[in-house]
Amino acid sequence: MKSIISLISIGLSVLFGALFPSITFAADNAVLPPSITDGPYVFLNNGDENTAYWICQSELKQTSIEANTLIRPANCGDLPEPKLHTEAVIPDLDTFTHVGKIVALSDVHGQFDIMINLLQAHNVIDADHHWNFGDGHMVMTGDMFDRGHQVNEVLWFLYALDKEAQAAGGRLHLLMGNHEQMVFRGDLRYVNERYQVSLDLLSRSYASLYDKDTEIGRWLRSKNTIVKINNFLFMHGGISPEWVERKLDISSVNHLLRQHVDDTKEVLKNNELLNFLFFTNGPTWYRGYFEDALQGSDVDSILRYFNVDHVVVGHTSQDRVIGLYNNKIIAIDSSIKNGKSGELLLINSDKLTRGLYNGDQVQL
């Protein structure tokens, strides 16, 4: 009998492994709570458009979506209750001029509480998490997914903020990082282990929680990877000299990255241009600004090519927001991923300021 049970369990695990290819879950600093709340998840296929799925105290719940509003079930902590955007998801513009003030942050990696504290400390949002930055622009330079334990909270918050910013005459630029790309194509090595509970209850793979047939996945796939605002260029990794040699432009690259974000690694690697755009020297992975090989004249060529004075990047983690090459390159991945602190970059005309975790502001 025992051997039959073990055979069945081996069979099930083989079946599960085939359905949901191997995931090694990453833990952040938080200790796993005894029960999990997570969600909501909204799937747009199989006639499921009007249902929201929630994980409440490690149990699966579903509610119907009334008037585009999601209402959290009882005993489901303080999970977000988003209002769905009803309009078509059209790609954002990627060039802006005459913007008065800009705030930028990066690499939140599921650390919702740290992000909220930072944005509140610098009055970008109010006490109730609503947009408070007027006609200013906020730039998130990618890597919202992976490592941390509050990925959904981060995504639904930004989903709401996106619309609130526009309604106020401002903008949220949500740029794609390498971790968004990895999750979309099923590279799940850095997913926090707490999400295993949700996957088991929903009988889905992690990537399918954010595929193009989900509300959040559809919204994210409309986003850019690079944006130019005034004399600043923003992206996750950086612009390499190879970009300039290839004479690429922002809009066509944003379009290509949107178009191919669901392609497999093999497909991307087999296309010469896509292999550049999606990997080592492309805008979401490049780390050359932090390596000795790059010369100041290379940086100047990059700035000249785009007619900007600064390139702002995340991806390569620092203790704080730092300026390199006389602030021509600004590195804003301030290690929010560690779940203890972080910083913002504030830009007002050409004045560059570090927004510290305690609300203090220090000239860069």
Is the Cβ of residue 63 or residue 178 nearer to Zn ion in the bound state? 178
Tokens linked to 164: 């609130």
Regarding 63 and contact with Zn ion (CB under 5 A), the answer is no
Give residue for tokens 């949500």. 174
Residue pair 254/283 in contact (Cβ under 8 Å)? The answer is no
Stretch that binds Zn ion, among 47-55, 123-131, 141-149, 258-266 (CB under 5 A): 141-149
Q: Between residue 314 and residue 333, which ones bind Zn ion under the rule CB under 5 A?
A: 315
Regarding 178 and contact with Zn ion (CB under 5 A), the answer is yes
The contact pattern for Zn ion, residues 296-315, with x = CB under 5 A and - = no contact, is: -------------------x
Distance in Å, CB of 235 to Zn ion, minimum: 11
Stretch that binds Zn ion, among 176-184, 298-306, 318-326, 344-352 (CB under 5 A): 176-184
Regarding 143 and contact with Zn ion (CB under 5 A), the answer is yes
Phi then psi dihedrals of residue 142, to 5 deg: 85, 170
Distance in Å, CB of 333 to Zn ion, minimum: 7
Taking Cα atoms as reference points, which of 334, 342, 362, 330 lies closest to residue 232? Answer: 330
CA distance 244 to 303: 10
Residue pair 142/109 in contact (Cβ under 8 Å)? The answer is no
CA distance 182 to 146: 9
Is the Cβ of residue 177 or residue 282 nearer to Zn ion in the bound state? 177
Is the Cβ of residue 190 or residue 243 nearer to Zn ion in the bound state? 190
Strands (E), the chain: 38-42, 51-56, 59-64, 95-96, 101-105, 137-140, 171-174, 227-229, 232-235, 310-313, 322-324, 329-331, 344-348, 351-355, 361-363
Stretch that binds Zn ion, among 34-42, 72-80, 124-132, 137-145 (CB under 5 A): 137-145
Question: Exposed, middle or buried, 144 (CB in 10 Å: 0-12/13-18/19+)?
Answer: buried
Is the Cβ of residue 112 or residue 190 nearer to Zn ion in the bound state? 190
Tokens linked to 197: 């509970």
Residue pair 239/286 in contact (Cβ under 8 Å)? The answer is yes
**Cβ neighbours for 31, distance < 8 A, ≥ 6 positions apart:** none
Regarding 281 and contact with Zn ion (CB under 5 A), the answer is no
Tokens linked to 204: 């889905």
Task: Name beta bridge partners: 329.
Answer: 311, 324
Distance in Å, CB of 35 to Zn ion, minimum: 31
Is the Cβ of residue 217 or residue 282 nearer to Zn ion in the bound state? 282
Stretch that binds Zn ion, among 53-61, 143-151, 183-191, 272-280 (CB under 5 A): 143-151
Regarding 147 and contact with Zn ion (CB under 5 A), the answer is no
**Residues in touch with Zn ion (CB under 5 A):** 143, 177-178, 315
